[in-house]
Structure 1
Amino acid sequence: MHNIILKLKFVFSILKRDGLCSFLRKMTKSLKNKQGNGIANKLFIEQWFRGEGKLENLYGKHEYNSVKDTHIAFIIPGTGISGGIAVVLKHANLLKAKGYNITLLSQDGNTRIDWFPNQEALIIPFDEWNKLKLINICIATSWTTAPFLSVIESDRKIYFVQSDERRFDIKDTHTINIIEATYKMKCEFMTEALWLQRWLKEEFGHNAHYVPNGIDLDIFHKTNPMEPKSEKPRILIEGAIDVPFKGMDDAYSAIKDLDCEIWIVSNNGKPKKGWRYDKFFESVPFEKMKEIYSSCDIFLKMSRVEGFFGPPMEAMACGCAVVVGKVTGYEEYIEHEKNALVVEMGDIDAAKKSVERLIKDKELKEKLIHNGYATVKNWNWEHSNKLLEELINKK
């Protein structure tokens, strides 16, 4: 990568001469794999950061005529299993069902997403965006997609911020500076959590439109267990094992010595050497998660960074009693002692005691489960999507 950076001036001259789409296609084709997409995207982001693109005023206006005439393009960083991508897909497919013209531009070049149920929105490689007819609204969905708002031709440009990505265990100061620069962009902002809305206002002065996440109760609901439960309580921990801020080490450490069954779900990384567990599931499609949640008694989540914090809500919908670490986004819907037990972030001993408490106190466990069901009924995607429509149709 160091040698590539040394050649930036030469690459940028090609970029300026041929245009972004031509450049991305040439880079991808020359490397003939996903690495081409990744390097091309990194080079453009570097150019954007070093140049004046990050200072450009991207505010625009779309004169709304009709739903059918509104073309909305979402830029997504990839097509792999991800909670953030799932949120975008849900919004995109709801808008498509209402008659909007929807396109997803994938930075990894893939055009299929099979893991998300009822996915019907058109997906095309990002470098083919200029083949599209007029884009009315272009929505960036992560820091790696935001700089491209400066070159994609559209009436309005919106940055959908799903977390403070500077906190994602990034050791490279330069990358953190680029991420921060995207939050200083002069465009419209939207976000999924009240803490993110406050943070964007306090640190960057943005009045971000609040579009909270929802839960699809057709996908997440109580089912029969995948296999009969034993006398031992069954504890579920979920998260990317190889992503430290997802807190899977803490979650496992809290329950490893308990007399219980341990089920683990991870979309990035396998259980570490020495971990004991009864079931391990990897890269689980969304519609299958309800079967896993419904097979377990207690759900423990110890993330250190979250945006909206969706998995505990999914677990509630499927009948789990929930224990969580206090993380950004938990206060959107979680209430200590009412629908979950909440411990301080990283407090392994408190998490262990909370799980033990639920194992012993059946009445408390049933209260949390009952109130969890009541909670999820207040968070539906249709309401969330209507709030997005208000932003889309803003004059």
Structure 2
Amino acid sequence: MQAKFDNIAEYWCLLERGKGDDQMFKWAFLMFGVDISGGTNVIFQIALRLKKQGISVTFITEKRVERNQVSWNPIYESFDDHIFWKTYDEVKNEYFDVAIATYWKTFYSLYRVNAQAYTYFVQSIESRFYPSEEINLRNFVDKTYEPQIGVVTEAKWIKEYLANHYNHDAEYVRNGINKEYFNNNGISLKKRNQGKLRVLIEGPVNIAFKNVPGAIEACKSAEIEDVWLLTASDVKKYKDVNETFNKLPINRVSEIYRSCDVIVKLSYVEGMFGPPLEMFHCGGTAIVYNITGHDEYIQHEYNSLVAPVGDQQKVVEYLQNLKSQPALVETLKVNALQTAQKWPDWEETVVLYIKAMENAAKKCQVSQEELSDFSRYTVDLYERENTHKKGKWD
């Protein structure tokens, strides 16, 4: 086991010069799950490129991850190669340069990992995932932002939020995109029909804040004749949808995008959502709500149409406009593709991500023991306050 330095900045400087205990950085990503999701894909895309930069990656989970669980992602090909998959029990005697919480629930397990520094990769303000009446749970999630560990985020609004509410100087790095998969030159499942609008709805059907049923209802109200659904939910057919595609591996998702003209993504909460950007790369446009993070790349009436959050009638109006104005659709598509061409790929982004994580690690002001005390106390308090509820928080 490596010796622990009192001065984190000194430790990282030594590693950068190749004079530390190890010549290679050892990163640990704490994962709550590995099912299909945009946030999980972001972490996997980063991890796949870290090895090329001289970084060893270990994914840590409660239960052992089997290879077939990640068959939806390119990381499947590197499962037993350059990336390690271990449980918390299996890393008890290991030591990492940095341990990274990737979701609020994993924050409360950071103390279980031996590391020189602790950081938090924040992809959204996750208390917003839960209904407003779940006050105790939302407060419990927000508690994870209090300790002064280093933070990296993918959205400007999150950086500003954490600075204003928790005094965090978070590192900001835009997500990249896999341009090998997402481009306008590959195959499509079915050719687009000139003059006939084909709409894609994307997202899990059973997560309220993703609002997939609302998007489908808007298409029905606008009398859209050709509606496709791309979902990670276990459904084969869905009401008022012409075609349903579920749990596709990521290398096949672009075939769906290239077949459709517009993606209607009406989430109520996002960090920096990826599907509209992926759609841009594949030659389509988007209709979205003006939620936090949309302005990272979406511009109203330039590459997309943006409605106020919850304004279903405005979405219906936009759909009717696109249906009746093929020239408008084409203009938005052209501009969306120009936006996509300027967006960085993962190879460019991961270099910035490494530097951001190094900076975040140097900002960590909390020890493993302090994290343990904070986590145990906060979890215990929450569970005592909610003993009457079934299932608790896990």
1:154 and 2:115 matched: yes
Higher relative contact order (CA 8 A, sep 6+): 2
Q: 2:24 aligns with which of 29, 49, 69?
A: 69
Task: Name the % identity.
Answer: 31
Indicate conservation of the 8 Å contact 1:111/1:124, yes or no.
no
Q: 2:200 aligns with which of 236, 239, 249?
A: 236
Indicate conservation of the 8 Å contact 2:236/2:246, yes or no.
no
Q: Give how far 1:229 is off.
A: 4.2
Indicate conservation of the 8 Å contact 2:210/2:266, yes or no.
yes
The 5 Å alignment of 1:277-288 reads 277-288=241-252
1:305 and 2:269 matched: yes
1:130 and 2:85 matched: no
Aligned to 2:368: none
Q: Aligned partners of 1:358, 1:390: CA distance in 2, in Å?
A: 43
TM-score, length-normalised on structure 1? 0.80
Aligned to 1:261: 226
Indicate conservation of the 8 Å contact 2:209/2:269, yes or no.
yes
Aligned to 2:381: none
TM-score, length-normalised on structure 2? 0.80
Aligned to 1:215: 177
2:245 match: secondary structure: strand
Indicate conservation of the 8 Å contact 1:70/1:101, yes or no.
yes
Indicate conservation of the 8 Å contact 1:294/1:318, yes or no.
yes
Q: Aligned partners of 1:108, 1:335: CA distance in 2, in Å?
A: 42
Aligned to 1:329: 293
Q: Aligned partners of 1:393, 1:241: CA distance in 2, in Å?
A: 38
Q: Aligned partners of 1:250, 1:99: CA distance in 2, in Å?
A: 45
Q: Aligned partners of 1:245, 1:59: CA distance in 2, in Å?
A: 42
Q: Give how far 1:59 is off.
A: 9.2
1:110 and 2:73 matched: no
For structure 1, which runs of at least 5 residues remain unmatched after alignment?
1-57
For structure 2, which runs of at least 5 residues remain unmatched after alignment?
1-5, 363-394
Indicate conservation of the 8 Å contact 1:321/1:340, yes or no.
yes
Which range is displaced more, 353-362 or 141-150? Answer: 353-362
Indicate conservation of the 8 Å contact 1:79/1:108, yes or no.
no
The 5 Å alignment of 1:1-395 reads 60-61=8-9, 62-63=11-12, 64-65=15-16, 66=18, 68-112=23-67, 113-119=70-76, 120=78, 121-132=83-94, 134-170=95-131, 172-222=134-184, 223-230=186-193, 232-257=196-221, 258-268=223-233, 270=235, 275-380=239-344, 381-394=346-359
CA RMSD in angstroms comes to 2.1
Indicate conservation of the 8 Å contact 2:233/2:247, yes or no.
yes
Q: Aligned partners of 2:225, 2:340: CA distance in 1, in Å?
A: 27
For these two proteins, the number of residue pairs brought into alignment is 336
Q: Aligned partners of 1:359, 1:240: CA distance in 2, in Å?
A: 25
Indicate conservation of the 8 Å contact 2:216/2:240, yes or no.
no
